[in-house]
Structure 1
Amino acid sequence: MIEDVSAGPQRRAFLKSGLALAGALAVPGAVSAALRGQQVRGTFATMDGAVLPSRSVASLVSTPPTSTRVVRPELMRHALTALGRHADAIRHQDRIAIVDFTAPSAKARFHIVDIVNGDSTSYLVAHGSGSDPTHTGWLQRFSNADGSNASCEGAFVASDYYVGKHGRSQRLVGLDPTNDNALPRAIVVHSAWYSNPEMLRTHGMLGRSQGCFAVGEQDLQTVFDRLGEGRMIYAAKV
């Protein structure tokens, strides 16, 4: 784990928007409608029982429920739009993972965001060798093709766990045309030695996966605990 940003007094505005969004997400149809620019009318009940006035979820998308120094606003808007679009497939919508592939592998770019209270935790994560053929540390391209060894973009739903060649791993189901081959490609979350922080001290960047989201060995269990099954991972370069 690299950074754990907890909600404080200076972030009350982010928390309010997160609470409203959590209430709105209880009604997937309303979310989808709002994200198309329509107004959601009525009130939203939050998880603590408070009732919030009506507002469009589109306006919440423009006010991300987490610090802008953690997740860039444009990326957060894309992620929340994807959450609304795939609401029926995302069983748990209280937390989402956002992978910012605009950042280099030397940065903690795997963000798990609690959209109820605004807390976020960030981790190092590798990208695929096919996405960075000359090993620059920056993702150059995405691919959904089998055998490409590249990372793919879009929304995923975190599925079940299994033990494979990388130890305990978590399957991912791609929900978009850009990543719908993730399951047969075995694009998963797993740990790897080349994603440990020590790599930054010796090489200035992480190693590369075969397209999987490879996190540090000491971070894997925490990532699994916070992500769980049935939540969304959104990966993009925007």
Structure 2
Amino acid sequence: MLTMREKAPTRRGLLKTAGALAGAMVLPDAVSAAMRATESGSAQLPSSSLAPVRPTPKVTPSSPRVVSPDLMRKALAALERHGNRIALRDRIVIADFSAPSSQRRFHFIDLVNGSSVSKLVAHGSGSDPAHSGYLQRFSNQNGSNASCEGAFLASDYYVGKHGRSQRLIGLDPTNDNALARAIVVHGAWYSNADMLQKHGRLGRSQGCFAVGENELAEVFQRLGQGRMIYAAKV
């Protein structure tokens, strides 16, 4: 698990890399080697937590540029706006809800070296009542079962009804009810990649960022505590 003791990169270095990313996104294939180099001083996941239990279907990335320049600019603006709340600014996570749930749209973007890793993530049932696989709307209301948009601070871990989970603090008026609504990161069977073979889309959460059960340990490691998730549909 990554810790708050990670060495923070210089502000100049972050701005340089972030500016380059906002202009032209990195390719999703340029990921694991660079990420391992970046995290060489951090705790390593057991190999069993990363190995799939069965062959998984090919998943099309949401964009050859990972995210659009407009979405990247919005995420970087949110990082700057909430900078005093975000302890770790070396890496951000962007949930690109303009893409369907059949695509890898939960993007871990390294602002130091420009690499990225993308994962599947479900949206809320209240955001997609017809279960089309596409997010139709956001909501910050209790009982909506919808995803909410904006910047989130990754907070502490706990064990709840979905097993190991991570609390999120909403930083914008569009998601400031996230903690009260228990909008969290957790693993779910309906977010496993084999759902695409059976149904062509993931299942739906109650507004949480639900990732595949076999991906959860890696997601927690890459996100850590004190980083920002930015969710939007651009």
* Partners of 1:221 and 1:73 in 2: CA distance: 29
**Could you say which residue in structure 2 is the equivalent of 1:155?**
151
Q: Distance in 2 between matches of 1:168 and 1:73?
A: 33
What corresponds to 2:139 in structure 1? Answer: 143
Question: Larger relative contact order (C-alpha < 8 A, sep ≥ 6)?
Answer: 2
Deviations 1:6-33 (CA, angstroms, capped at 9, x unpaired): xxxxxxxxxxxxxxxx633xxxxxxxxx
Show structure 1 runs of 4+ deviating over 4 A: 55-62
Match of 1:208 among 204, 207, 213: 204
* Structure 2 residue 16 is matched with structure 1 residue 63: no
Q: Where does the alignment leave 5 or more consecutive residues of structure 2 unmatched?
A: 1-8, 28-63
1:100 aligns with 2:60: no
Which of 163, 169, 173 lines up with 1:177 in the alignment? 173
The answer on 1:23 being equivalent to 2:10 is: yes
Q: Is the contact made by 1:157 and 1:172 (CA closer than 8 Å) also made in structure 2?
A: yes
Larger radius of gyration: 1
| Match among 124, 136, 160 for residue 120 of structure 2 | 124
Cα pair distance change 1:57/1:86, threshold 3 Å: farther
Residue 34 (structure 2) pairs with residue 74 (structure 1)? no
Q: Which runs of 5+ in 1 are unaligned?
A: 1-21, 25-43, 48-54
Distance 1:76 1:165, change over 3 A: same
1:147-183 deviations in whole A, cap 9, x for unaligned?
0000000000000000000000000000000000000
Partner SS state of residue 196, structure 2:
helix
On the 8 A contact 1:89/1:157 being kept in 2, the answer is yes
| Identity within the alignment, % | 67
Separation of aligned partners in 1, 2:223 and 2:22: 24
Aligned length: 190
Distance in 1, matches of 2:74 and 2:85, equals 17
Please give the TM-score of this superposition, normalised by the length of structure 1: 0.76
Q: Distance in 2 between matches of 1:103 and 1:130?
A: 17
Amino acid in structure 2 at the alignment position of 1:153: E
Match for 2:123: what amino acid?
Answer: H
Letter in 1 for 2:225: E
TM-score, normalized by length of structure 2? 0.77
CA distance in 2, matches of 1:113, 1:187: 22
Q: Does structure 2 conserve the Cα–Cα contact (< 8 Å) formed by 1:64 and 1:77?
A: no
Q: CA deviation at 1:58?
A: 9.5
Distance, in Å, in 1 between the alignment partners of 2:101 and 2:137 is 14
Match of 1:110 in 2: 106
* Secondary structure of residue in 2 paired with 1:219: helix
How far apart, in 2, do the equivalents of 1:214 and 1:141 lie? 17
